[in-house]
Amino acid sequence: MKKRQASALYTFGDLQNWREVTRKVQPSVRLGVFGDPVAHSLSPKIQNAALQHHKIDMQYATFQIAPDELADGLRFARELDFVGLNLTVPHKIVALDRVDGVDLTARKIGAINTVALREGKLLGFNTDAVAFSRAIREEFAVDLRDLRVMVLGAGGAARAIATQCGMEGCERLVIANRTLEKANQLVEQLREYFVGPRVLGPVARLQAITWEESAFRFQIANIDLVVNATPVGLNRTDPSPIPARLLAPHLMIYDTVYAHGRTPFVTAGLEAGARAANGLSMLLHQGALSFQTWFGREAPVDVMRQAL
Ligand code: ATR
């Protein structure tokens, strides 16, 4: 049959009526990303490039799925014989309880961004964590274990990043969140990684802080890498999560957001004289690791990178 591209954006309603909606789509859509918002996602670009490279006869599409549609959306994916899914904001944490099984590391992180369908079961994985580590090495030529890191956010993406920092034994980890309670909870879960003998003077090695200018200002001198793991910056009109005047030239700035190229946080970082990168590198590596999870073979990372 003639190739017919999948639509740019499907909805929950489309899933309910899937066979009819995709009657003319060839090859069939058997992978996708669920999110809200999700229209900006570049996952289809990299995944479809990988599928074509390996001559796997299926397509990857974008699905606008609201929080109250997630459980049924996953059920449809199973019934429609999908191979796998990616999950993004705001589904990564809730989805943990909506799948049939969760990989050990993902369970530890408390969030999943990848679902694989195996023998009719939905299995959850987290590829954000390792992808973050690879992205930081690629962008700044440093290892997490040598860094003092501040993570902005305590949601799904932040949990993966903070846990990876803990597992790699980073020098210091500070978690800032609008809802302090969630940052406190995350800190408690990571305590086991920070009991070692390293001494850093007067500042705590592991700490939750409030989302406030004074708290940011106090921390910056004792931080090397600041990571935005909130969705702030997804909208073109968003401010930088931390204003440029609070940043400093010694910092590395990493924004998990990649919408519109130079994000507000990246712009603020550069304005402050710091090195800064957006989330394309993390997107690429989490996608490559997801591909590997679904198909059990090496992802064509360079092909995927070129697709970006
Ligand atoms: P994801 O899966 O992408 O991590 P999430 O689990 O919904 O998405 O988490 C979003 C994170 O961004 C949370 O830490 C949230 O803070 P709260 O815990 O206080 O909700 C944070 N966040 C979202 N919008 C924000 C904003 N406008 N300013 C600051 N933090 C924000």
pLDDT in tens, the chain (308 residues): 567 788 789 999 999 999 999 999 999 999 999 999 999 899 999 999 999 999 999 999 999 999 999 999 999 999 999 999 999 999 999 999 999 999 999 999 999 999 999 999 999 999 999 999 999 999 999 999 999 999 999 999 999 999 999 999 999 999 999 999 999 999 999 999 998 766 667 789 999 999 999 999 999 999 999 999 999 999 889 999 999 999 999 999 999 999 877 999 999 999 999 999 999 999 999 999 999 999 999 999 999 999 99
Q: Give pLDDT, residue 1.
A: 53
Whose CA is closest to atom 6 on ligand 1? Answer: 155
Q: Which of 178, 184, 228 to mutate to test the pocket of ligand 1 (most atoms within 8 A of CB)?
A: 178
Q: Give pLDDT, residue 200.
A: 66
Establish whether residue 182 lines the binding site of ligand 1, counting it when its CB lies within 6 angstroms of any ligand atom: yes
Ligand 1 centroid vs 54 CA: distance in angstroms? 36
Q: Are strands 225-228 and 148-152 parallel, antiparallel or unpaired?
A: parallel
Q: Give pLDDT, residue 52.
A: 97
Establish whether residue 230 lines the binding site of ligand 1, counting it when its CB lies within 6 angstroms of any ligand atom: yes
Burial class (CB in 10 A: 0-12, 13-18, 19+), 238: middle
Ligand 1 centroid vs 230 CA: distance in angstroms? 5
- What radius of gyration, in Å, describes the C-alpha atoms of the chain? 19
Contacts of 281 (CB under 8 A, 6+ apart): 134, 135, 138, 139
Q: What is the pTM of this model?
A: 0.94
Q: Give pLDDT, residue 199.
A: 64
Spell 202-212 as b/e; 16+ CB within 10 A means b: eeebbbbbebe
What is the enclosing helix (H) or strand (E) of 100?
A: none
Residue type, 308: L
Q: Give pLDDT, residue 201.
A: 72
Q: Give pLDDT, residue 196.
A: 73
Residue 195 contacts residue 167 (beta carbons within 8 Å): no
Q: Give pLDDT, residue 135.
A: 98
Establish whether residue 126 lines the binding site of ligand 1, counting it when its CB lies within 6 angstroms of any ligand atom: no
d(CA 59, CA 49): 10
Q: Which atom of ligand 1 is nearest to the CA of 113?
A: 2
Establish whether residue 156 lines the binding site of ligand 1, counting it when its CB lies within 6 angstroms of any ligand atom: yes
Residue 262 contacts residue 280 (beta carbons within 8 Å): no
d(CA 92, CA 126): 9
CA separation, residue 110 to residues 38, 128, 174 (Å) = 21, 12, 18
Residue 287 contacts residue 43 (beta carbons within 8 Å): yes
Ligand 1 centroid vs 3 CA: distance in angstroms? 39
3-state helix, strand, coil in the chain (%, to 5): 40, 20, 40
Q: Give pLDDT, residue 259.
A: 82
User: Pick the catalytic residue: 3, 55, 92, 108?
Assistant: 92
Establish whether residue 233 lines the binding site of ligand 1, counting it when its CB lies within 6 angstroms of any ligand atom: no
For residue 92, indicate whether it is catalytic. Answer: yes
